[in-house]
């Protein structure tokens, strides 16, 4: 503001000088000093000319700078004008906007580079009046589906009608489903479709993600193998490391010329330790064999009520010992086609987990229920124990993962494998501070 006022003062000063010069020239003409008057008029002309170009340059510079800002054009270089302090604020505004724009361009390049390197098909649509345009299409989507990077929705619809029809049917709202897409007129491939809609600065965007089922499965399998190898490596190292250390100690002892009573005692303890670790490894391998060599279920028709009653009878001594109330709410005569021994093992494993979860609970209770829906039986085992910590929720079905010192870590994994071999699934969740394990089986 101060610099703008200073500019006006300079213009006003020039006008004063011009007016004074004209008055003096008129005075000199009236007094007969013609040559002095002519000289004064020349000076007035020069002052006027100088003020004209000064104002013209100032207006042109302002117009050029403002026009560059409005048109988002930051290619101009005003460095030679920076010595003029009258334009300091204007140039500072220009440079600030230029830096912000360059930073935004850098971010856009980085984000687009990240999106282009993700092995997931991504398209982002932008609403323009009553139609959608393609705001962004990543390289994976373009190359994998053999679609050119078009800018209009109608062009994309010509290329991938099966995808576009699903999005249009749902009115461009949030959707999560699977669909089959034929690529290059070859066999159809199944993809997971996830779409969401968002509004940013009054602009409507629709984000579509397409993932190959094969990629999803491979990633899950890879993660499962990595977790399994971590567990196996951990168990092996926990046994091999102390055994190796003990062997080195024994080697030093047997190389002595004579053994003292204390040395013999050390040898005895060392052998006992190696036996314990060997037994642990043996149990570990047996557990792995049990998981890897699970026999195919020999199915027969059984009554669910009888199956549950039999499991409760087997576990009843433990329930009494731990003072646990077991409530069986199953009333209907549900009949299921299963391998009775294997499903009993699953139910016993889940009841055992509930017993462990109720260890520090005062009023201990386990509730067993079932319901039939869509030709399936849902069996629920609920307890009011401490529940499953969020940090380990995604690990409880991993082989050999356990939070108990005496646990083998195969109970839930084995239960999951058995239920899946029957064509069902097992799930868990928390509701009203209670943990629920749910088994889904075909009725």
CA distance 220 to 12: 78
Specify whether 286 is located in the same domain as 325: no
Per-residue model confidence (pLDDT) at position 2: 39
CA distance 396 to 390: 11
For 135-144, 262-271, 303-312, which range has the lowest pLDDT when averaged over its residues?
A: 262-271
Q: Which of 65, 96, 127 is the last residue of a domain?
A: 96
Strands 335-338 vs 300-303: parallel, antiparallel or unpaired: antiparallel
Q: Where are the beta strands (DSSP E) in 129-202?
A: 131-137, 175-182, 188-200
Specify whether 264 is located in the same domain as 349: no
Q: What residues contact 412, with CB distance under 8 A and at least 6 apart?
A: 349, 353, 396, 397
Long-range residue pairs from 229-237, CB within 8 A, at least 24 positions apart, any chain: 231/398, 231/399, 231/400, 231/401, 231/409, 232/288, 232/400, 235/281, 235/284, 235/400, 236/281
pLDDT confidence band for 1 (50 / 70 / 90): very low
Specify whether 436 is located in the same domain as 312: yes
DSSP secondary structure string, 300-336?
A: EEEEHHHHHHHHHHHHHHHHHHTT-EEEE---S--EE
Specify whether 201 is located in the same domain as 173: yes
Residue 238 lies in a domain: yes
Specify whether 122 is located in the same domain as 183: yes
This prediction has a pTM of 0.42
Residue 353 lies in a domain: yes
Specify whether 207 is located in the same domain as 249: no
**Which of 222, 149, 156, 228 has its CA nearest to residue 409?**
228
Rg (CA), the chain: 41
Specify whether 230 is located in the same domain as 173: no
Beta bridge partners of 171: none
Domain of 403, CATH number, reads: 3.30.565.10
User: Between these two residues, 377 and 67, which has the higher pLDDT value?
Assistant: 377
Task: Report how many domains make up the chain.
Answer: 4
DSSP secondary structure string, 224-235?
A: HHHHHHHHHHHH
Residue 110 lies in a domain: no
Specify whether 389 is located in the same domain as 378: yes
Specify whether 146 is located in the same domain as 242: no
Residue 423 lies in a domain: yes
Q: What residues contact 167, with CB distance under 8 A and at least 6 apart?
A: 175, 195, 206, 208
Residue 107 lies in a domain: no
pLDDT surpasses 50 at 223: yes
**Which tens digits make up the pLDDT trace of 386-404?**
777 666 666 666 666 565 5
Specify whether 305 is located in the same domain as 438: yes
Specify whether 394 is located in the same domain as 330: yes
Q: Are 25 and 41 in contact (CB under 8 A)?
A: yes
Residue 105 lies in a domain: no
Per-residue model confidence (pLDDT) at position 394: 65
Q: What residues contact 368, with CB distance under 8 A and at least 6 apart?
A: 308, 312, 326, 327, 328, 329, 330, 379, 380, 381, 382
Q: Which of 263, 292, 321 is the last residue of a domain?
A: 292
Q: Which of 214, 233, 248 is the last residue of a domain?
A: 214
For 141-145, 150-154, 250-254, 373-377, which range has the lowest pLDDT when averaged over its residues?
A: 250-254
Q: Are 410 and 391 in contact (CB under 8 A)?
A: no
Domain of 123, CATH number, reads: 3.30.450.20
Domain of 264, CATH number, reads: 1.10.287
Range of the domain at 286: 217-292
Q: What residues contact 197, with CB distance under 8 A and at least 6 apart?
A: 172, 173, 174, 204, 205, 206, 207
Mean pLDDT score across all residues of the chain? 76
Per-residue model confidence (pLDDT) at position 214: 61
Specify whether 332 is located in the same domain as 436: yes
How confident is the model over 244-260, as a mean pLDDT?
73
**Which tens digits make up the pLDDT trace of 424-434?**
888 887 777 77
pLDDT surpasses 60 at 122: yes
Residue 103 lies in a domain: no
Residue 109 lies in a domain: no
Per-residue model confidence (pLDDT) at position 51: 77
């Amino acid at each position: 503001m101060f610099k703008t006022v200073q500019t006006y003062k300079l213009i006003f000063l020039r006008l004063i000088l011009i007016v004074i010069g004209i008055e003096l020239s008129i005075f000199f003409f009236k007094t007969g000093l013609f040559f002095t008057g002519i000289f004064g008029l020349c000076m007035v002309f020069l002052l006027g000319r100088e003020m004209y170009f000064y104002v013209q340059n100032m207006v042109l510079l302002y117009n050029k700078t403002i026009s560059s800002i409005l048109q988002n054009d930051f290619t101009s270089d005003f460095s030679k004008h920076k010595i003029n302090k009258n334009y300091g604020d204007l140039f500072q505004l220009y440079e600030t906007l230029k830096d912000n724009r360059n930073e935004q361009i850098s971010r856009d390049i980085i984000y687009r580079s990240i999106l282009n390197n993700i092995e997931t098909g991504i398209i982002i649509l932008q609403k323009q009046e009553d139609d959608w345009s393609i705001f962004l299409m990543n390289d994976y989507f373009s190359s994998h589906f053999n679609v050119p990077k078009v800018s209009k929705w109608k062009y994309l619809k010509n290329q991938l009608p099966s995808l576009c029809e699903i999005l249009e049917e749902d009115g461009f709202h949030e959707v999560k489903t699977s669909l089959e897409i034929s690529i290059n007129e070859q066999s159809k491939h199944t993809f997971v479709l996830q779409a969401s809609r968002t509004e940013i600065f009054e602009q409507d965007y629709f984000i579509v993600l397409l993932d190959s089922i094969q990629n999803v499965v491979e990633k899950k399998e890879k993660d499962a193998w990595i977790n399994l190898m971590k567990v196996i490596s951990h168990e092996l190292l926990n046994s091999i490391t102390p055994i190796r250390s003990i062997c080195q100690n024994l080697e030093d002892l047997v190389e002595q010329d004579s053994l003292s009573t204390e040395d013999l005692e050390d040898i005895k303890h060392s052998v006992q330790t190696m036996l314990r670790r060997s037994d642990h490894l043996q149990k570990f391998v047996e557990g792995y064999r049990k998981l890897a060599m699970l026999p195919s279920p020999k199915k027969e028709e059984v009554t669910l009520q009888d199956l549950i009653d039999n499991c409760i009878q087997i576990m009843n001594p433990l329930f009494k010992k731990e003072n646990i109330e077991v409530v069986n709410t199953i009333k209907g005569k549900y009949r299921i086609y299963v391998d009775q021994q294997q499903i009993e093992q699953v139910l016993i494993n889940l009841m055992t987990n509930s017993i462990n979860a109720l260890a520090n609970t005062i009023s201990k209770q386990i509730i067993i229920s079932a319901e039939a829906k869509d030709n399936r039986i849902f069996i629920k085992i609920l307890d009011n124990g401490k529940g499953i910590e969020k940090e380990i929720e995604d690990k409880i079905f991993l082989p050999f993962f356990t939070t108990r010192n005496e646990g083998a870590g195969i109970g839930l994994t084995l239960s999951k494998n058995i239920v899946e071999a029957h064509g069902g699934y097992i799930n868990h969740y928390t509701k009203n501070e209670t943990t629920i394990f749910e088994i889904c089986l075909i009725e």
